[in-house]
Amino acid sequence: MRKTYGLLLLSIGCALSAIANNSYAAILPGTAFWSFQSTPAGTGAGNAFTQAVTVESFAGTPTFARAGNAFRTDLGGGASSFVLGGVTYSGDPGNTNGSNPGNVAAWDQNSKDNSFSVTLDTTGFQDLQIRLDYRNNSTSNGVSSFSYRVGVNSAVNVIVPTMPRVNNGSNAAIFSAWSTSLTNVTAINDRPSITLTWNLLDVPDQTSFRLDNLLITSSPIPEPMAVVAGLLGASSLLRRRHSSQF
């Protein structure tokens, strides 16, 4: 009887867990995404800039932080609409005054000591990949360095692509996609707390730097039993192949 009751509780637990996961749409495990807007539509009275993670499926709740001394939260628009897990996060790359859909994280003119960072729990995950959209009005590269930190250890620099200004031919900066693979940075795999930091150059007068659609993905680390089962399967296959040769 007690066993049946336990199984029932387990079934209810699984059902509740499935319901909770539905709120994350169809994102894969080991994903974190920031749209920087509180509604997918990114417009209207219910929408505002937010740096809380939009959807995530890591062990803990990933956090985003930025440094600088001149932020803007009223810059709407953002990069082009981005689709993740079947949800469209609207944006309008042509917008500059906040009246169109979408929000971004923005550093305003003359902002100094600029950076942004993400802290997350990678327990059970490896092979991190990152993509984002940026709009850099300055003639200099947006990102000056990139580093990772495991727990409270010292930051370690990693060479990543820069974020140069890209314009549309009429001297107006436009959003560009940026990505990097951290597959070779194995120190950040399967850790309870890692921090990734992008250091940005000073933002000159009459310019701005904008960030949108920050997406981190990763791969589940195979369970030891799955690895053993895989090895046993492979050795059994080899044995059969070997014996069939005689």
Q: Let me know: does 128 contact 107? Beta carbons within 8 Å.
A: no
Candidates 65-73, 126-134, 207-215, 229-237; binding stretch for Ca ion (CB under 5 A)? 207-215
- Looking up tokens 């010292």 gives 154
For residue 40, state whether it binds Ca ion (rule: CB under 5 A).
Answer: no
- Cα separation of 228 and 236, whole Å? 12
| Of the candidate residues 77, 78, 93, 101, the single one contacting Ca ion (CB under 5 A) | 78
For residue 212, state whether it binds Ca ion (rule: CB under 5 A).
Answer: yes
For residue 127, state whether it binds Ca ion (rule: CB under 5 A).
Answer: no
- Cα separation of 50 and 60, whole Å? 19
* Residue 212: φ, ψ to 5°: -155, 160
Residue 127 or residue 212: which is nearer to Ca ion going by CB? Answer: 212
What is the Cβ-side half-sphere exposure of residue 219, based on CA atoms within 13 angstroms?
9
Residue 92 or residue 202: which is nearer to Ca ion going by CB? Answer: 92
For residue 133, state whether it binds Ca ion (rule: CB under 5 A).
Answer: no
Candidates 4-12, 176-184, 208-216, 220-228; binding stretch for Ca ion (CB under 5 A)? 208-216
Give min distance, CB of 80 to Ca ion, in A.
Answer: 10
| Of the candidate residues 102, 125, 143, 163, the single one contacting Ca ion (CB under 5 A) | 102
Query: Which helix (H) or strand (E) element contains residue 198?
Result: strand 194-200
Residue 62 or residue 78: which is nearer to Ca ion going by CB? Answer: 78
Give 186's strand partners. none
Could you say which DSSP state residue 187 is in?
Answer: G
**Which residues of this chain interact with Ca ion, rule CB under 5 A?**
35-37, 78, 91, 102, 212
